[in-house]
Structure 1
């Protein structure tokens, strides 16, 4: 009886609070906000700068007390900055991926360095945010001490899904340019449908999982937060999608050393930061073949690839810091 009561309660009343870790806005540009999360017991002089994807909202990194990556970072002594790109509208259709890198990520990093009075910074990119973070690091003049890429596609030689469409795009038999220029912006519903086609074409498994443990109030609350996040995709600017498809998906220019960002060459050899690349063995969106080779192209002396158990969102929603990160990061963050 409690299982069925919990199940229907979650379905009828899906709203739940997210993003509860104390924070303040330290910089804004257009729809974007740079959020600052101070550590209550600061232990390290190097702050963390988090870059999330353009596809989803970043509150998955701060779902709830006890279920928040950002909270875990601050409790472990790190000051945290999160770049929230916001939700683009039709008026933002001409913002390219390069614009996001130079005008948002790079300027946000500069603001975080000034605000923290830190001499160096750690960049952590999640999913497509890690792709953008890698592109930024390849042109950055700012002092990046550590670069962490979590389930981030960087190498597009392999297409784990829609492989025939990807091959047709690479061969020039399929071109989305006119469509993207005409529509201007990809609606959130289309992004959501595309993600579902890859991960859950028939979307009922999460509801079976809910029914199975709907008697557990803590599980139901966590389920509602994750379901809220997976249902709230955001629009994608046509200019950014066009650039990513042509420059990365079609030409793989970042890996091949041929990418330019605002007329500046983005060469992976320019990256000297300590590098940690993370992939998960059950990820349906980003497979290890899409990020493992990046360590072969950077100039970093300290570089590690880690394949861990879990899915695409596991590292963002786990309670506490993953063991490999809790060991790797403090050793490279200059204790106070």
Structure 2
């Protein structure tokens, strides 16, 4: 008897039959997963201060503290800090605590229309400054170390320039400084966000924010990031997810990341106008013309030692945009390190998990001594 030809349809049927048990197993696995299993940002911490919707936390130590100077994490307004604490084995927070660092965190909360008038002036000169003052009073220190992440790194850099007397060290990770450094010589897949933002007319930015109720919705920003990697976004819920169904650990990693992506807060509109116009479009920070509370943010005024870490394959913040800081600051100690990973991988990939915390902790220990 002649065997049926192996047509595309027959191949598909064979694939379904071979994977039927796998689908059943995946369904049972998903049915047994609850919200608590996908908990993120779960490292124990204590709320010590609240101002409006902004909260200051102090993480509970996991070892005896050997780095004396307190470290304040300043995350960006785009996204949530929980990205730094996805799960025990993928947590910059836990890694730093395990290296005996006194770790603090600013949580910006969930800004809404009531916060649409907040500017970067408010975040730098009010919220961050109050947090630093509170930490100094609580610990007896005169200064703190700032650990700025992405947009939060820009806020931390501005604070270090305007309040130099309060900053012991400045550590930046994935932070843009020169928003036009990618124009010449950047890889084709790098800087798409920069290119898109620069292509908008300033009045278009105003129209977008006004039409959206004075805020930039988290869902809107999420869609922009999704469009930057369209093929990856199209395949992650079928091809990629199917590959993870067989292993619970991989599936949980996927679900925790998706939970973080879905928890993107709204960005206050006025701060968003500054971010898009004065940074991305006009590049005022490196030109020495960016103002906060009526004062010019002069990068040469930074006197604290600076550690600048960036991702060499970053498609959101091209490495050149971060590296530019080295030529703009004054005569302070400066060190930069590029890691072979992408923007997200800098904080959560297996390769960077140990190295990022190790680099930060070792650098801080030397300064502390």
TM-score, normalised relative to structure 2:
0.83
Q: Which of 59, 78, 86 is 1:37 aligned to?
A: 59
Change (3 A) 1:214 1:168: closer
Q: Which residue is 2:119 aligned to?
A: 96
- Name the residue aligned to 1:19: 41
1:186 matches 2:208: no
Q: Distance in 2 between matches of 1:129 and 1:9?
A: 40
1:118 to 2:114 alignment: no
**Structure 1 residues 209, 97: closer, same or farther in 2, change over 3 A?**
same
Distance 1:112 1:274, change over 3 A: same
Query: 2-side partners of 1:311 and 1:176: how far apart?
Result: 28
Question: For this pair of structures, how many residues does the alignment match?
Answer: 332
Report if aligned partners of 2:172, 2:308 keep a CA contact under 8 Å in 1: yes
**Alignment partner, residue 254 of structure 2:** 223
Hey, what does 2:16 align to over in structure 1?
none
Between 1:253-262 and 1:321-330, the stretch displaced more is 321-330
Matches within 5 A, 1:21-170: 21-39=43-61, 40-157=63-180, 158=182, 160-162=191-193, 165-169=196-200
How has the CA–CA distance of structure 1 residues 215 and 297 changed in structure 2, closer, same or farther, with 3 Å as cutoff?
same
Does the residue aligned with 1:284 lie in a helix, a strand or coil? Answer: coil
2:225 is aligned with 1:195: yes
Deviation at 1:77, TM superposition (A): 0.5
SS of corresponding position for 2:246? coil
Structure 1, residues 249-282: CA drift from partner, whole Å, max 9, x if none? 2221110111110011210011011111111122
**Aligned pair 1:329/2:364, yes or no?**
yes
**Could you tell me how far apart the structure 1 residues matched to 2:177 and 2:136 are?**
26
> Any unmatched runs of 5+ in structure 1?
none
Q: Pick from 288, 293, 317: which aligns with 1:257?
A: 288
Q: 2:205 matched to 1:176? A: yes
How far off its partner does 1:283 sit?
1.6
Query: Of 268, 281, 287, which aligns to 1:237?
Result: 268
Confirm or deny: 8 A CA contact 1:3 1:213 kept in the other structure. Answer: no
Which stretches in structure 2 are left out of the alignment for 5+ residues? 1-18, 184-190
Higher relative contact order (CA 8 A, sep 6+): 1
- 1:206 pairs, out of 236, 239, 243, with 236
Aligned to 1:295: 326
> Secondary structure of the residue that 1:63 maps to in structure 2?
strand
User: Which has more helix, going by share of residues?
Assistant: 2
Q: Is the 8 A contact 2:117 2:268 kept in 1?
A: yes
- For the 8 Å contact 1:62–1:70, the answer to whether it is kept is yes
In structure 2, the CA distance between the partners of 1:75 and 1:321, relative to structure 1 (3 Å rule), is farther
Is the alpha carbon distance of 1:186 and 1:173 closer, same or farther for their aligned partners in structure 2, counting shifts above 3 Å?
closer
Using the TM superposition, give the Cα deviation of residue 66 of structure 1 relative to its aligned residue in structure 2, in angstroms: 2.7
Measured in 2, the distance between the counterparts of 1:281 and 1:264 equals 33
Partner of 2:303: 272
State the distance in 2 between where 1:117 and 1:313 align. 35
CA distance in 1, matches of 2:202, 2:70: 46
248 and 210 in structure 1: CA distance in 2 versus 1, 3 angstrom threshold? same
- Pair 297,9 (structure 1): closer, same or farther in 2 beyond 3 Å: farther
Partner Cα distance (1:168, 1:202) in 2: 24
* Alignment RMSD (CA, Å): 2.3
2:277 aligned to which of 246, 256, 259: 246
What's the secondary structure of 2:172's corresponding residue? strand
Report the Cα offset of residue 174 of structure 1.
5.5
Provide the rounded CA distance (Å) in 1 between the counterparts of 2:138 and 2:174. Answer: 29
| Secondary structure of 2:170 counterpart | strand
